[in-house]
Structure 1
Amino acid sequence: MVPWMILPHTIVQTVLLSFSGLYYKRGNIHPKRMKTFVLLLVTAVLVPQGSNARDLTLISDTHYDPLYGQAKGYGACTAPSPPLGRPGCDTPPGLLESLCTDIKNNARHHTILTGDVQRHKFNVSGLSISDTFGPICAKLNEALAVNEEKYPMVSVAIGNNDLVPNYYLNISEENKYLKQEADVMVSYKVLLETESNQFKKCGYYSRELSSKLRVIVLNTIAWCYCNQAHIPDTVKDPCGQMQFLRDQLRNAKGAGAKVIIISHVPPYINVWSVLKNKKFRSIDKDMYWKPWFQKEYNELMKDYETTVALQFFGHVHLFSLQALENGVKSIIIPAVTPVYSNHPNYLIATVDDTTMKPTTIRQRFLENGTWHEGTHLEDTFGNLSDSASLHKSIRQLLTDDESWNKFLNHRAGGRAVRPLFPHKVCDTWCRHVVVCSMFKSTYEEIQECVNPGKGNHDRSPRGLALVTLLLFVLFWRTLF
């Protein structure tokens, strides 16, 4: 959003009309300049008096690697490498600098980072938390407008790679890495001291951005099958996080405030795993969250759907979203790191400052050293604020090839230059797995959507061979 759009309506009109009249009187009617003034005038007239909007910069999975291009760099980049990164490697300093410059030129107000701040295999890198979290916090703060508010302008969630070891959240003891991350974020004014006290316990907290908007930051590793520090199923509310969420939502509703929820691992099915194995295996292998946490969480989203405006997650690296028939829409923010061959990219959501519903969501992506404006999400999915319309648009992806191809561009980070699927080609079954996960939530619902009335179909070569053998035996028996 350009700064003049947030000026009072009458002032904008007066200033623009005066300037356009001045140009006309002086005879300086250069075609390009006149076109610009006409566009500004039209916009000024169309903006309702007193309307305001808020820009949210949405980034995820930065996986910042200060050792990129050095002997201890992650992946293939252990020798001098392209300064803006390459597939197979994590985010280098040059890419972080380029990203934040583009954010500075295109966004304002607030940045949301949904986790995996630091590089893969951090635990064997020899790096400190200050080496990874420090530059990220500093650069993201610099990229935004001067902060005249009392609250931090950057909200950060914790991802699995921000836990050491990876995916390890032990709720029975103090986590020294969470403490270090909190201390670094406080030092860069990304986290308040009062927030850090809560964050150090299990990596979750909440903050008020204004009297009208609050952000709740969750650590969903606590609810995830992926947690390598075993939490017994008898623990009904690890770290008390679900009760914390319930209390925060109730307080926000009572205050008439809207809420944005951010975290890392989404309450989705692991689409990549299902596609890779060519079948549904079991709920613990295919779903990210344990079902009882997913059920309780989704019920809260239904109960507070007029309070929670949006949910943002990361982890998957590829863009997706979910619009259930009842509840709050959620978006997977795609990755900055190009490690898995996506374009480095991020989103900018412009939301109404009263309802906090999105009016537009832009995708910015890096290609051949230059940042580009991708297709806006509303050009693919229609009205982003209308859940029923969004739900219908998602269903159309099953049969509408034009919409599907637009979605693939979003999924790949702005432009689908290569097929980002485990087996390269995405056939009809693959397409159904992807799309059904966008409007169905439970494991059983998704399977039924993909294979109506047929249950779990094994599409692996071994499974297909067994089916073929069975049919051959049945055919052979009919001959005798």
Structure 2
Amino acid sequence: MYCDSMVALPRLLFGLLLFRGLRIYAVPLAPVNSEHLSGIGRFWHVSDLHLDPTYHVTADPTKVCSSSKGFPASNPGIFGDFMCDSPYQTILSAFQHMKTVTPQPEFMIWTGDSPPHVPIGELSTDLVIQVMRNMTQTIRQHFPDMPVYPALGNHDYWPQDQLPTSTNEIYQSAAKLWALWLKPEALETLREGGFYSQLVQPKLRLVSLNTVLYYSPNKVTVNMSDPAGQFQWLRDTLETSAQSMEKVIVIAHVPVGYLPYARNTTAIREVYNERLVKIFRDYSDIISGHYYGHTHRDSIMILKDVLGKPVTSMFVSPAVTPIKSVTQQYSNNPAFRMYHFDTQDYRMLDIWQYYLNLTEANQEKRADWQLEYVMTEAFGLEDIQPCSLFKLAQSFEMEQSKAFQKYFQHYMVSYDDHVVCDEACKLTQVCSLLSLDSVSYTKCIEVP
């Protein structure tokens, strides 16, 4: 209903007046066919590299990698194993393939987690910084002229998850490593709290949040009302962007909302989730999209306003690492993606996702990265705007929905087409996709 009514609204040639409280902002509108009249911009999204320097193929499957934590590797080869984090060769092959894709995108977002999943005693602050430096240098070597906008992940610190609310050695090192890409004002807040904002295109601002401050395992921030002052900073930043008539893209490692694989579980602490969702609703008119990592899976979310109208598209990129725990039924093939956007009004238009069939790569001893899907073509969408994704999500709710079956295969990055998501699994997936706050999620998940 909301999407149909929005399509029917007439476009105003001189802009639309948007009300926020008692303040009024004039926002210029693009022509109806702006996707044809203007250029298409592109940016890469890479996440969860999780380099494991210990990875090596050996006769003892329990000794292949530290990240398997003593569990035997399943079928190790030169490009990795589903029980292990990424060997450097796999990460290198990903960036090498990116260079072959033309035209080259305008910039890259990198949503965190460079170190491996290993026991706490096998890492240190120095080793974490060393891995972050290695990954930063690898990206620079492949894309010396491309701006890159990183976000810190929960493994980009030692001990993992415990990112603090004030300056420290990791934040300071990140600022030094990324000084080539970020401006002084961005580096200042990065050093102090692990977050920043920067204008990345004319009238397009990127906000990189440190959502690890809100992550449940982070003991440092328990019972804090505004860790590192990031909530107030975020509101102030978005308000300034609104007054300057900027569009905003939000990036972070840990996503908002509910996990698609764990019922009734938010990715960050629920109290922080509610606050972020409210802020994002309040400024949904200027936020072009959200981009996250952390879950290692490919998923979407749709932020709706309090009346149920879809207002913002959110995307969770799958990981480059293929690792899974011994208890998990499935994993993901390594992946990265490219987004297409309208350079005139910064509407998000499409996703091109690339993946590596890890089993075949190991068998053939060659990393043959391929285009897994183009989102508009895979699901018959006009674009990846909130209304288009909302209609897609509605189709998932149908019994035996072929669209959902395809979505779930992409969720695993074509890991295993024999894995079935039953009705309980599907309900958890769909509710996490459509309901980001506790009230709407509870209503969704308790549908008889």
Matched to 2:229, the amino acid is G
Tell whether 2:84 aligns with 1:89: yes
1:74 and 2:63 correspond: no
Partner Cα distance (1:352, 1:109) in 2 = 12
* TM-score (norm. length: structure 2): 0.78
Distance (whole Å) between structure 1 residues aligned to residue 92 and residue 139 of structure 2: 9
Structure that is richer in helix per residue: 1
Distance 2:408 2:169 in 1: 40
Question: 2:148 — aligned with what?
Answer: 154
| Match in the other structure for 2:445 | 450
Asked whether the 8 Å contact 2:39–2:343 carries over to 1, the reply is: yes
Where does structure 1 lack aligned partners over 5 or more consecutive residues?
Answer: 1-45, 275-279, 281-285, 420-424, 455-480
CA distance in 2, matches of 1:73, 1:436: 35
Deviation at 1:345, TM superposition (A): 0.5
Over 3 Å counting, the alpha-carbon distance change for 1:170 and 1:408 in structure 2 is: same
* Larger strand share, 1 or 2: 2
- 2:381 is matched with which residue? 382
Q: Give the Cα separation in 2 of the matches to 1:207 and 1:77.
A: 44
- The Cα shift of 1:336 comes to 0.7
**How far 1:269 sits from its partner (Å)?**
1.4
Which of 194, 199, 204 is equivalent to 1:203?
Answer: 194
Q: Distance in 1 between matches of 2:35 and 2:444?
A: 43
Report SS of the residue matched to 2:336. strand
1:176 has 2:169 as partner: yes
For residues 174-214 of structure 1, what are the alpha-carbon distances to aligned partners after superposition, in whole Å with 9 as ceiling and x for unaligned?
Answer: 4222222332333xx24444422211222101111122211
- For 1:330, the aligned partner's letter is M
Show the counterpart of 1:352: 342
Letter of the structure 1 residue corresponding to residue 401 of structure 2: D
2:207 aligned partner? 216
Report if aligned partners of 1:69, 1:77 keep a CA contact under 8 Å in 2: no
2:257 matches 1:263: no
In structure 2, the residue matched to 1:308 is 287
SS at match of 2:178: helix
1:153 Cα shift?
A: 0.9
- Cα deviation for residue 353 of structure 1 reads 0.8
Equivalent in 190, 215, 222 of residue 231 of structure 1 = 222
Q: Report the counterpart of residue 53 of structure 1 in structure 2.
A: 40
Q: In 2 relative to 1, CA 448–230 (structure 1 residues): closer, same or farther, beyond 3 Å?
A: same
Partner residue of 2:231? 242
> 1:203 is aligned with what amino acid?
G
4+ residue stretches of structure 1 with deviation over 6 A?
46-49
- Report how far residue 243 of structure 1 moved: 1.2
Identity of counterpart residues, as a percentage?
23
Match of 2:423 among 428, 441, 445: 428
Q: Contact 2:211–2:253 at 8 Å: present in 1 too?
A: yes
Match of 2:178 among 181, 185, 195: 185
* Cα deviation code 1:307-343 (max 9, x no counterpart): 1101011111111111133332111111110002310
Q: Which residue of 2 aligns with 1:163?
A: 157
Q: Distance in 1 between matches of 2:87 and 2:435?
A: 37
Deviation at 1:56, TM superposition (A): 1.0
Amino acid at match of 2:214: W
RMSD between aligned residues:
2.7
**1:264–1:314 contact (8 Å) kept in structure 2:** yes
Q: 1:122 to 1:250 in 2, by over 3 A?
A: farther
Equivalent residue runs for 1:280-295 within 5 Å = 280=264, 286-295=265-274
Check conservation: 2:302, 2:312, Cα contact below 8 A: yes
- Give unpaired runs (5+ residues) of structure 2: 1-32, 58-62, 306-310, 325-330, 362-367
Pick closer, same or farther for the CA change 1:122–1:358 going to 2, 3 Å: farther
Question: Contact conserved, 1:58 with 1:111, CA < 8 A, in 2?
Answer: yes
CA distance in 2, matches of 1:259, 1:345: 25
Q: 1:155 deviation in Å?
A: 0.8
On the 8 A contact 1:363/1:410 being kept in 2, the answer is: no
Looking at structure 2, the residues matched to 224 and 373 of structure 1 have their Cα atoms a distance apart, in angstroms, of 33
Alpha-carbon separation, structure 1, partners of 2:339 and 2:35 = 20
Q: Is the 8 A contact 1:137 1:190 kept in 2?
A: no
**Relative contact order, CA 8 A, sep 6+: which one is greater?**
2
Distance 2:119 2:105 in 1: 31
In the superposition, relative to structure 1, how do residues 162 and 347 fare at CA in structure 2: closer, same or farther (>3 Å)? same
Q: Which has the larger radius of gyration?
A: 1
Shift of 1:82: 2.1
SS of the counterpart of 2:296?
A: coil
Partner of 2:369: helix, strand, or coil?
strand
Call closer, same or farther: CA 1:397–1:347 in 2, change over 3 Å.
Answer: same
Normalising by structure 1, we get a TM-score of 0.74
